């Protein structure tokens, strides 16, 4: 199973592109700013290169995990100790890949797993943090909605093209 690293690099950009739209004042940006007590002036401060750079690096870390969650064949590779080119691969791995090598490798399937990751990982984490930080439900749902959409798109891209 070969990995398309270009697809992973492109999927990493999704966090930025989705964020530019989601947190735009015409979408959820005004609500987000109000719930965080931020002003337009506050948003103009900070090192944007650092913010966007680390966002992209963290996004690439997410793509690695999403690849394992969306591409089921990765589990088969893990069970035989590595790619089929290695001597440790069992003949059953070749048979498995012949039968299921491209099964469920679609955008739709990856999007489903990405959405489930957002619903069952991102929402609870953001919810827990938000509750302890005494944030509103608006705050929690704006951020969780962003991550559910973003992980849905990332999962779709990764599963279909990586």
pLDDT digits (tens, 9 = 90+) for 147-162: 999 999 999 999 999 8
Per-residue pLDDT of 99-147, as tens digits, reads: 888 888 999 999 999 999 999 999 999 999 999 999 999 999 999 999 9
Exposure class string for 88-114: b at 16+ Cβ within 10 A, else e: ebeeebeebbeeeeeeebebebbbbbb
Name the pTM for this structure. Answer: 0.89
Residue 161: burial class (beta carbons within 10 Å; 0-12, 13-18, 19+): middle
Opening angle at CA 36, ends 45 and 56, nearest 5: 60
Q: What is the pLDDT of residue 32?
A: 96
Q: What is the pLDDT of residues 8-53, one digit of tens each?
A: 999 999 999 999 999 999 999 999 999 999 999 999 898 999 999 9
Q: pLDDT digit string (tens) for 66-95?
A: 998 998 877 777 776 555 555 667 777 778
């Amino acid at each position: 199973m070969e990995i398309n690293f270009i697809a992973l690099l492109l999927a990493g950009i999704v966090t930025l592109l989705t964020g530019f739209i989601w947190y735009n004042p015409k979408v959820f940006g005004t609500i987000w700013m109000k719930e965080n007590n931020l002003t337009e002036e506050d948003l103009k401060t900070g090192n944007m290169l650092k913010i966007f750079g680390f966002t992209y690096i963290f996004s690439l870390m997410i793509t690695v995990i999403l690849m394992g969650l969306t591409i089921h064949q990765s589990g088969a590779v893990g069970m035989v100790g590595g790619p089929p080119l290695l001597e440790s691969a069992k003949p059953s791995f070749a048979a498995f890949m012949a039968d299921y090598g491209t099964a469920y490798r679609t955008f739709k399937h990856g999007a489903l797993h990405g959405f489930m990751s957002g619903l069952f990982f991102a929402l609870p984490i953001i919810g827990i943090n938000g509750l302890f930080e005494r944030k509103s439900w608006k705050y929690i749902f704006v951020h969780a909605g962003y991550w559910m959409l973003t992980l849905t798109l990332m999962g779709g891209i990764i599963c279909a093209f990586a």
